[in-house]
Each structure stands twice: as C-alpha cells, then as structure tokens.
Amino acid sequence: MYKSIFKLFLTLLVLAPFGVQSQSFDKNFYACNNGYATCNQSLLTDVQKQQVHQSALSRNYYACNNGYATCNQSLLTDVQKQEVDLRRINSELKSNNSLVETNTGLSGSRPICAENGSCYGDISNITGLPKTTHVNGYYRKDGTYVRGHYRSRR
C-alpha cells in the first residue's frame, strides 16, 4: 500500500511541472494573441505564430478603421486600405454636414444633400432661386418612387 502511494506521489511529482508548463504556454499564447507586452514569441509553435499574426493584422485593421494612432497602414491589404479611406471620407463628410447644418439653421433630421444629389443652397435652373426647401422621397400614384430633393421657394 505504501509503495503504491509512493509511486503515485513520484508520478505526480514528475508530471506536475508539465501541467504548470502547459498552463504557462497557454497564458503566453493568450498574451501573444491579444497583443500584450508579456508575450514571448519564442515559446509559440508555428501554428500559434500564424494565429497570432492574423490576430495582429485584425487588431491593426480595427485600429485603422476607427482612426486609432496605433494604426499601421502598411499592414493593410489594398481592399482594407480602400475600406478605411471610405470610412474616413464618410466620417469627414458627416462632420462637415453637421457643421453646415448648424451654420445654416437646418435641423439634424434633414441631410445637407438629398437622395437625388441636390444640395441645400444650390441655385435652381428654373427659378434662379436657391433650393432651401427639403422634400422627402415619396411614391406617386402610379408606383414610381421620387427621390428626396431640395426645391426653391416660390
């Protein structure tokens, strides 16, 4: 009986460091995969290194897409660069529109440019007056859709 307990004790003593080591490798992989400074890349397997690299690329894309200073544009694919640029341009347009709406007294519910491309303040070709009245899109009786637009006041 004592021999079996002693064998069990020796087995646990020998195998225990492997369990601890496995946990430390798991913690290291977690740290590397999430971009933590405690990461030790030399402890990763080749598969883990690939996963960590993909995670780093995903974090970088997220940073670029949200305008964070940690963005590294050189790591983006061409498609990702286009998406980031479009998002930045749309964001700038929205902020510019809100500035113009504030300056012109427009309410926030009306866009500065309408669905059909006419914008607040454009000069009407027909009346020669500025377009200042917003018209929401609507359906005619025959079912055709008329896009939202601005018209001049008469």
pLDDT at 5: 67
Mean pLDDT by 10-residue block, N- to C-terminus, for the chain (154 residues)? 60 50 80 91 92 92 86 90 83 60 48 79 86 88 89 82
For the record, the structure tokens of 40 come out as 């030790």
pTM listed for this prediction: 0.48
pLDDT at 30: 92
pLDDT at 102: 43
For helices 46-65 and 78-104, the axis angle rounded to 10 degrees is: 20
pLDDT at 119: 85
Bridge partners, residue 113, by sequence? 119
pLDDT at 124: 85
pLDDT at 85: 84
Cα 3–chain centre separation: 62
Query: At residue 67, what is the residue type?
Result: G
pLDDT at 125: 85
Could you tell me if residue 35 is left (phi over 0), alpha (psi between -120 and 50 degrees) or otherwise beta? left
How far is the C-alpha of 111 from the C-alpha of 108, rounded, in Å?
7
pLDDT at 54: 93
